[in-house]
């Protein structure tokens, strides 16, 4: 019976996610969408929400000021959010406009973004900008990042996301696990979506939206634990398409501490459940409309993997307990569980391996680490199962992730030894 159940769960996984295996092929058979467009130099405001980020924020601001895009068309705004260090002072000295926020009740990036946009509006400067970028304080940008994003913005998208690379891929198996997943998300989820004419998804940082959009929807209104997914799903349900710019490269610092990683992914897991409860009905309705592909895609993003993983873990755990007194039945359960785990492990090797091979030159880490961390990538992904289970029962709140790796673009690209 346990063999049958595990088989059925595997079949359901395949049914739900087989389209993502097709996504792996899209970039190889369809290289580029053709747009008749005129590139206009838009004015952009940059929004940075920072909490105790004095160590790293300087490199982000430096990389913004070193853009190939005209400096006079870029305004940089920082929300020093509940800071107890010198983040505000560091940002001011780097030449940005800083607004300090102190609110111990409304905590989270969503609230900080709303505060920042409202502060810019009160200052009378909101009308200066055609769009706004959102970055985390630990990010570093390639010099042509804004130039490339502007090109995609000119294609008619009101929301655009870019290519998310890593500052510290080679630190350990945790940072590499995050990094490889985000590379895969960029090139084998968002890029195929863009090439097929459906909607990409925003992932935390490195995206922009038009001023007209934010005014039309009444300001930033996304405050769940995963405000990026909430924003994405709301736009998809509304019938809008999020664009993707492969050439706009951003480097992001990934956690290296397992305890911190668990805390972050607990928030993500609970946030997915919040988004499902708030937007699941709209996604379901959208599946039966002209928004079918985007709504189905986003529904698969927030629901089946967690549900099927939890179901499989619960059934196998119960089976192990029930059959503990029967060596034959207990052994059969162990074998079935081991086979399922091996299949999952090999699947993630394939998924991660494709991303690793095609993005090899863009990953700034020693070759031996790139190869070694491919084999730890499935283990990193499997740790989501107990984390997702815990997210159902433990109290989860928004807490900042510590960023300490101050690295220039040259130092990131020089990390090969």
pLDDT on residue 253: 96
Closest CA to 23 of 301, 237, 239: 301
Q: Tell me, letter by letter, the H, E, C secondary structure of 327-385.
A: HHHHHHHHHHHHHHHHHHHHHHHHHHHHHHHHCHHHCCCCHHHHHHHHHHHHHHHHCHH
Q: Do the domain assignments include residue 270?
A: no
Q: Do the domain assignments include residue 32?
A: no
Q: Are residues 290 and 362 in the same domain?
A: yes
Tell me: the pLDDT tens digits for 108-135? 999 999 999 999 999 999 999 999 999 9
Phi, psi dihedrals of residue 367, rounded to the nearest 5°: -60, -40
Q: Do the domain assignments include residue 374?
A: yes
Query: What residue numbers bound the domain in which 76 lies?
Result: 42-257
Q: Is the whole model's pTM more than 0.95, yes or no?
A: no
The strands making up 131-136's β-sheet, listed across from edge to edge, are: 97-101, 74-81, 44-50, 131-136, 207-210, 159-166, 243-252, 140-141
pLDDT on residue 311: 83
pLDDT on residue 354: 95
Q: Are residues 107 and 209 in the same domain?
A: yes
pLDDT on residue 416: 59
d(CA 266, CA 322): 29
Q: Are residues 289 and 232 in the same domain?
A: no
Q: Are residues 60 and 107 in the same domain?
A: yes
Q: Do the domain assignments include residue 320?
A: yes
pLDDT on residue 303: 78
pLDDT on residue 148: 97
Q: Are residues 60 and 110 in the same domain?
A: yes
Which H or E run includes 249?
strand 243-252
245 neighbors 164 (Cβ within 8 angstroms): no
d(CA 231, CA 221): 8
Read off the tokens for 57: 């924020």
Number of domains comprising the chain? 2
Q: Do the domain assignments include residue 31?
A: no
Tell me: the pLDDT tens digits for 26-44? 988 887 766 667 889 999 9
Residues of the chain with confidence (pLDDT) below 70: 33-36, 416-417
d(CA 46, CA 97): 10
Which H or E run includes 80?
strand 74-81
d(CA 21, CA 42): 37
Here the CATH number for the domain that contains residue 212 is 3.90.550.10
Closest CA to 175 of 188, 166, 183: 166
pLDDT on residue 35: 67
Tell me: the pLDDT tens digits for 248-267? 999 999 999 999 999 999 99
Q: Are residues 18 and 151 in the same domain?
A: no
310-316-318 Cα angle (round to 5): 100
d(CA 280, CA 259): 30
Q: Do the domain assignments include residue 262?
A: no
Three-state SS at 410: helix
269 neighbors 384 (Cβ within 8 angstroms): yes
Q: Spell out the residues 6+ positions from residue 3 whose beta carbon is closer than 8 angstroms to its own.
A: 332, 336
Q: Are residues 135 and 228 in the same domain?
A: yes
Q: Do the domain assignments include residue 206?
A: yes
């Amino acid at each position: 019976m346990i063999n049958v159940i595990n088989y059925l769960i595997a079949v359901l996984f395949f049914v739900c996610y087989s389209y993502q295996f097709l996504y792996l092929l899209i970039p190889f058979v369809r290289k580029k969408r053709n747009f008749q467009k005129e590139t206009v130099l838009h004015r952009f405001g940059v929004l940075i929400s920072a909490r105790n980020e004095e160590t790293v924020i300087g490199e982000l601001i430096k990389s913004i000021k070193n853009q190939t895009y005209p400096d006079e068309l870029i305004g940089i705004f920082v929300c020093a959010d509940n800071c107890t260090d010198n983040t505000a002072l560091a940002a001011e000295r780097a030449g940005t406009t800083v607004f300090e926020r102190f609110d111990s009740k409304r905590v989270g990036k969503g609230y900080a973004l709303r505060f920042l946009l409202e502060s810019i509006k009160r200052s009378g400067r909101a009308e200066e900008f055609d769009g706004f970028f959102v970055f985390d304080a630990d990010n570093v940008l390639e010099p042509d990042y804004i130039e490339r994003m502007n090109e995609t913005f000119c294609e008619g998208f009101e929301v655009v996301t870019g290519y998310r690379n890593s500052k510290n891929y080679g630190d350990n198996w945790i940072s590499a696990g995050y990094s490889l997943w985000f590379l895969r998300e960029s090139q084998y989820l968002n890029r195929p979506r863009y090439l097929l004419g459906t909607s990409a998804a925003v992932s935390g940082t490195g995206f922009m939206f038009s001023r007209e959009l934010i005014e039309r929807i009444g300001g930033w209104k996304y405050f769940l634990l995963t405000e990026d997914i909430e924003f994405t799903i709301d736009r998809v349900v509304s019938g809008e398409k999020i664009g993707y710019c492969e050439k706009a490269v951003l480097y992001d610092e990934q956690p290296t501490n397992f305890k911190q990683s668990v805390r972050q992914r607990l928030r993500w897991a609970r946030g997915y459940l919040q988004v499902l409860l708030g937007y699941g009905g709209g996604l379901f309705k959208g599946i039966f409309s002209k928004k079918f592909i985007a709504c189905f895609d986003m529904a698969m993003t927030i629901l089946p993997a967690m549900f099927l993983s939890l179901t499989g873990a619960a059934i196998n755990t119960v089976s192990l307990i029930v059959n503990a007194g029967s060596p034959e039945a207990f052994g059969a359960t162990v074998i079935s569980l081991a086979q399922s785990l091996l299949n999952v492990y090999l699947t993630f090797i394939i998924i991660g391996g494709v991303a690793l091979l095609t993005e090899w030159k863009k990953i700034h880490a020693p070759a031996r680490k790139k190869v070694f961390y491919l084999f730890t990538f499935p283990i990193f992904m499997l740790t989501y199962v107990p984390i997702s289970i815990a997210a159902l029962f433990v109290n989860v709140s928004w807490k900042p992730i510590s960023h300490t790796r101050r690295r220039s673009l040259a130092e990131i690209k020089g990390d090969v030894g």
